[in-house]
Amino acid sequence: MIHQFDVLILGSGTAGQSLALRLAESGQRVALVTKRSLADSASAWAQGGIAAVLDNTDSIEAHIQDTFTAGAGLCDARATRFVVENGRAAIDWLIGRGVPFTREDQSALGYHLTREGGHSHRRIIHAADATGAAVQATLTEQVVAHPGITIFENHIAVDLLVGDKIGQPGAGCLGAYVFDIERNQVLTFGARNTVLATGGAGKVYLYTTNPDVATGDGIAMAWRAGCRVANMEFIQFHPTCLYHPQAKSFLISEAVRGEGGLLKLPDGTRFMPEHDERAELAPRDVVARAIDFEMKKRGLDCVYLDISHKPADWLRGHFPNIHARCLELGIDITRSPIPVVPAAHYTCGGIVVDLAARTDVANLYAVGESACTGLHGANRLASNSLLECLVFGEAAARDILAKPRGAAPTLPEWDESRVTDADEEVVISHNWAELRRAMWDYVGIVRTNKRLRRAQHRIRLLEREIHEFYSHFRIGNDLIELRNLVVTADLIVRCALRRRESRGLHHSRDYPDLLPRARDTVLRPPRGKRA
């Protein structure tokens, strides 16, 4: 079955939904494809807020400098200025949409601004401690109501349709093959423009703060289509993921440290001042490495984040969701410290794009965590991610709307005439577990060449086995995700092996020093894989 639209958006987080609304309100027919429901995205899990210059005591230059500092010299100057200068307009757009940000009567702005690690000012606008959920709920209601947006839940993209691969040389991206999970069939989506808003790749690691849908799909599909990928070695490990056997991927917001939370050893001793003069307010990579160091040095399962010295009513008001979730697990944050560990959190690299979110393939765009815009450099500054989603979503919409509408492409349907039903599904689950364990053990917070080579060897073996499985059997959701995860894992390791220094999120025992010049790690697909 073939569906035709003006724009195909793969992914339904803040980047995808904000872009869909902007396009549909300008008369475009939009397909919004999401692997599960509209609510299932990393955006919805974002707790802290959105960074933007909103107060008269703050400045564009200060926000840019904070971003540069966190990015360890690798942030692209043009991209960073572009995002920061458009920050206020992005927030105003959300306020106009009705996002219920936390108010504060004493503020000239009328909204409460918090501060997070790496920021020199209070500039994080938020909705209590569930900002992403508030943004997503507001946008989702409007996306569902808009007649120009057709929503396809429980659908996952298999691969992009690129002209050079289907007998239409030079046509660029023409849409995608999409698997209908409920009906167990592959559909063909044709579109004049296709946007990858598929999020990051946290699920490539055993422990992550990401939802299950974060399997690097867009990055892997773009690579197979012929797009450059950059800086995949920079995986941000969030320092404070709740450590509890019944808590899966529950994040303890950066704002807890921003509001005075202290990291402590089991005996109550603080340790961050020994690692960095900024202590708990140091950037995430510094804090994550410090926790990792203390845990390994002392044989600890976790460390503790203590904010119990704050008034109980204040804590319940500022962190209602964290308070409630911890209380469910028997942890009263008004009285006791929170057990925490680092976990894979954010993919700073991704598909190379320009300031209009265009990739190397014509008519193909990438926005949000799947893209490498140059904003994050070697380490993302807290709460810059949702801002990037909004600013680049608007940029992509502007570029798409400026194009003339061409004729709908003629596309081939999916061919599965030469495959059979899988005889051993257990292969997929075993490969999935082995891949994530290898990445956690060998490509974690602190790396060595020996560990990276060991991971690469295992990944290459898995890649061949998964390709063999994909070539001979009918596909399903787990196989599609595993195929993308193994490609993404390979890209992470290849980038890590190329970087012969320690910078930002990439810390190597073999190369502990910083090189005098910061360079991006850019991978180009071999010609045989190009579209």
Q: Residue 498 in contact with residue 445, Cβ under 8 Å?
A: no
Q: Would strands 149-152 and 30-33 be described as parallel, antiparallel, or unpaired?
A: parallel
Q: Kindly tell me the sign of the dihedral angle through the C-alpha atoms of 397, 399, 402, 405.
A: negative
Q: Residue 70 in contact with residue 381, Cβ under 8 Å?
A: yes
SS3 of residue 515 by DSSP: coil
Nearest to 178 by CA among 421, 475, 525: 475
Q: Residue 383 in contact with residue 236, Cβ under 8 Å?
A: no
CA separation (Å) from 524 to 235, 386, 495? Answer: 20, 28, 11
Task: Please spell the DSSP secondary structure of 400-443, one letter per residue.
Answer: HHTSPP-PPPP-PPP--TT-B--S-THHHHHHHHHHHHHHHHHS
Where helices occur in 248-336 by DSSP H, the ranges are 254-258, 272-275, 284-298, 312-318, 320-328
Distance of alpha carbon 52 from the chain centroid = 19
Task: Please spell the DSSP secondary structure of 14-37, one letter per residue.
Answer: HHHHHHHHHHHTTT--EEEE-SS-
**Any idea of the CA torsion for 17, 157, 432, 476, to the nearest 10 degrees?**
130
Q: Residue 377 in contact with residue 74, Cβ under 8 Å?
A: yes
Nearest to 231 by CA among 9, 343, 79, 120: 79
Task: Please spell the DSSP secondary structure of 451-494, one letter per residue.
Answer: HHHHHHHHHHHHHHHHHHHHHHB---HHHHHHHHHHHHHHHHHH
What is the distance between the alpha carbons of residues 80 and 186, in angstroms, rounded to a whole number? 39
Is 284 annotated as catalytic?
yes
Nearest to 157 by CA among 195, 102, 119, 110: 195
Q: Name the phi and psi angles at 475, rounded to 5.
A: -85, 160
Burial of 153 (0-12, 13-18, 19+ CB in 10 A): middle
Q: Residue 165 in contact with residue 409, Cβ under 8 Å?
A: no
Burial of 522 (0-12, 13-18, 19+ CB in 10 A): middle
Nearest to 351 by CA among 512, 98, 507, 522: 522
What is the distance between the alpha carbons of residues 333 and 331, in angstroms, rounded to a whole number? 6
Q: List the catalytic residue out of 22, 123, 257, 284.
A: 284
Would you please indicate which residues are annotated as catalytic (active-site) residues?
A: 284
